[in-house]
Amino acid sequence: MSPALEIQLVAVLTAMACALPGAFLVMRRMSLISDAISHAVLPGIVLGFLLTHSLHHPLLLLLAGAAGLLTVYLIELLEKTGRLREDAAIGLVFPALFSIGVLLIARFADQVHLDTDAVLLGELAFVPFDRLQWQGYDLGPQALWTMGGLCFLNLLLVGLFYKELKLAAFDPAYAAVIGFRPVLLHYLLMSAVAVTIVAAFHAVGAILVIALMIAPPATALLLARRMPTYLLYSVLAGVLSAVPGYGMAWLLDVSIAGSMATMAGVLFVVVWLIAPEDGLWARWRRRKKQQIDFALDLLLLHLLHHEHQVTALDERHPDTLPQHLNWTETALQRILKAGEQQGLVRITSGEVHLTQAGRERAQNRLEMLTPAQRLTSRPSMIPAEPLPLPQTRLRPHSRDQEKSVL
């Protein structure tokens, strides 16, 4: 495998591994936890580095994962006091842990190769240099195996606990009632997030991990209406950020992590613009259509109203219509064009006439607009007698009685 292909593969695997737990984080409105964890793993990493003097020792991952879970635990502890909101709890915990990490680096690891830059930004370009050897065989870059394994683990997690995760995301109270142990599930998901972040960070850096965890699921949320499609689109969006991201980095010779994050953002914006239902373009089209529909209704009703009157000639002339409807000349032309296209009005010898379809639609609307008639034709919704007041349950002994006893 060429180094470029190896980097590309690692990038894709990382994106996929991140998108899966990220999708559930976004669903549960806990996206910013990933931000907190990704920063707060620093003291764990530094501590592991100080103990083992290697950036790749398993102990490092363990300690970093522990730091990640500690973050989650501390945030929940602070929230549970009821004195702080979630945002403040997150904003207090992770900078404190990060500070400890930075101080540790500054005090004890200044001379060695461990930068906060390296942790925060990561560098995929070095992936091919760090290879996994087994009995003299070259098994490819180590990161390929780590990220592949992680991808598999996350897939396994989602596969095994799909129903539980889904329920906990949408209705945690119900999940608890039917015995799904949401706390356990919560920590399982959090562990997955922490492990993913830790494993991904030294390939791609702390910030990109956040981008890959949040942006693809957010993109998927614009398109999907059901959980399975949402998960699928999340993973796809991750891959579609990773591939062009690496391409751009290669073309411009810039940071791979940064350009993958950028591409994740670009992909979001593109989907945001063109998504068939929730996209900005679709929304704008829908609104325009509603405007034209409403204006057409107004025009049709106006024509219907005056159809057999003496003034009909005056009322349906394109020159006088803008005045009567309080529209501008151009607006009228647009509406008339739309009406002609839809076969609702017909312009003959400079006069606007209703077609049969137009007349039917106007009559239909007229019926809809007179709700009183429709209501009386149905059985009444208002009860004949006032409902009985709910009876207050009497408590056998109120507090006052208690005082009188004592």
Partner 1 sequence: MDFTLRVVMTGAALLGLISGALGTLAVLRRQGLIGDAVSHAALPGIVLAFLISGSKAPVVLQLGAAVSGTLALLWVQTILRTTRIRFDAALGMALAVFFGIGVVLLSLAQHTAGAAQAGLDRFLFGQAATLLRADLMVMAIVGVTTFFLVVALWKEVKLVLFDADYARALGLPVRRLEMLLIVLLVVAIVIGLQTVGVVLMSAVLIAPGAAARQWSKRYGQVFLLAGFFGLLSGATGAWLSSLAPRLPTGPIIVLLLSFLATLSLFVAPERGLLWQYRKRKKAARNAQQAVLTVLRELERRHPHEARPHPAASIQTLLGPEVPVNAILRQLERHGQVQHEPGRGWRLADRNPEATHESRS
Applying the rule CB under 8 A, the residues between 95 and 154 that interact with partner 1 are: 95-96, 98-100, 102-103, 106-107, 110, 116-117, 120-121
Element (H, E) at 67: helix 58-80
Q: Pick the closer one to partner 1 by CB: 91 or 318.
A: 91
As measured in angstroms, the least distance from the Cβ of 215 to partner 1 is: 5
Q: Which is nearer to partner 1, 20 or 249 (CB)?
A: 249
Does residue 184 belong to the site contacting partner 1 (CB under 8 A)?
no
Residue 304 C-beta: closest distance to partner 1, Å: 37
Q: Position of tokens 């647009």?
A: 334
Closest residue by Cα to residue 198 from 44, 9, 54, 76: 44
User: Which of 126, 272, 342, 355 touches partner 1 by CB under 8 A?
Assistant: 272
Contact 121/58 with Cβ under 8 angstroms? no
208 is an interface residue for partner 1 by CB under 8 A: yes
Site for partner 1 in 310-329 (CB under 8 A): none
Q: Which of 37, 127, 257, 362 binds partner 1 (CB under 8 A)?
A: 257
Burial bucket for residue 344 (CB in 10 Å: 0-12, 13-18, 19+): buried
Q: Candidates 254, 274, 313, 357: give the one binding partner 1 (CB under 8 A).
A: 254
Instruction: Verify binding: residue 201, partner 1, rule CB under 8 A.
Output: no
d(CA 224, CA 27): 12
Q: Name which of residues 355 to 394 contact partner 1 (CB under 8 A).
A: none
Whether 222 and 275 have beta carbons less than 8 Å apart is answered as: yes
Site for partner 1 (CB under 8 A): which residue of 194, 198, 207, 303?
207
405 part of the interface to partner 1, by CB under 8 A: yes
Which of these ranges, 143-151, 153-161, 254-262, 345-353, lies near partner 1 under the rule CB under 8 A? 254-262
Question: Which of residues 76 and 307 has its CB atom nearest to partner 1 in the complex?
Answer: 76
DSSP three-state, residue 134: strand
Contact region for partner 1 (CB under 8 A) — 63-71, 177-185, 258-266, 381-389? 258-266
Helix (H, G, I), strand (E, B) or coil at 180: coil
Assess 399 for contact with partner 1 (CB under 8 A). yes
Whole-angstrom Cα distance, residue 218 to residue 208? 15
d(CA 154, CA 148): 10
**Applying CB under 8 A, which of residues 88, 160, 270, 357 lies at the interface with partner 1?**
88
Residue 314: closest CA among 352, 260, 368: 352
Find the binding residues for partner 1 in span 63-82 (CB under 8 A). 78, 81
DSSP character string of 39-65 = HHTHHHHHHHHHHHS-SS-HHHHHHHH
Q: How far is CA 139 from the centre of its chain?
A: 37
Measure the N-to-C terminal CA separation of the chain; round to a whole number of Å. 87
In the complex, least distance from residue 283 CB atom to partner 1, rounded to whole angstroms: 6
d(CA 165, CA 157): 9
Closest CA relative to residue 10, chosen from 219, 197, 212, 242: 242
Give the nearer residue to partner 1 in terms of CB position, either 309 or 401. Answer: 401
CA distances from 93 to 80, 84, 377 (A): 14, 12, 63
Cβ distance to partner 1 smaller for residue 256 or 299: 256
Between residues 39 and 316, which has the closer beta carbon with respect to partner 1? 39
Q: Name the residue nearer to partner 1 (CB basis): 146 or 259.
A: 259
User: Judged by CB, which is closer to partner 1: 261, or 354?
Assistant: 261
Give the per-residue contact string, 28-57, with partner 1 (x = CB under 8 A; - = no): -xxxx-xx---x------------------
Closest CA to 43 of 190, 198, 211, 188: 198
Say how far apart CA 275 and CA 278 lie, in whole Å.
Answer: 6
| Total residues interacting with partner 1, rule: CB under 8 A | 71
292: β partners: none
- Residues numbered 218 to 237 that lie near partner 1 (CB under 8 A) are 218, 221-222
Closer CB to partner 1, 385 or 400, in the complex: 400
Q: Does 196 bind partner 1 (CB under 8 A)?
A: no
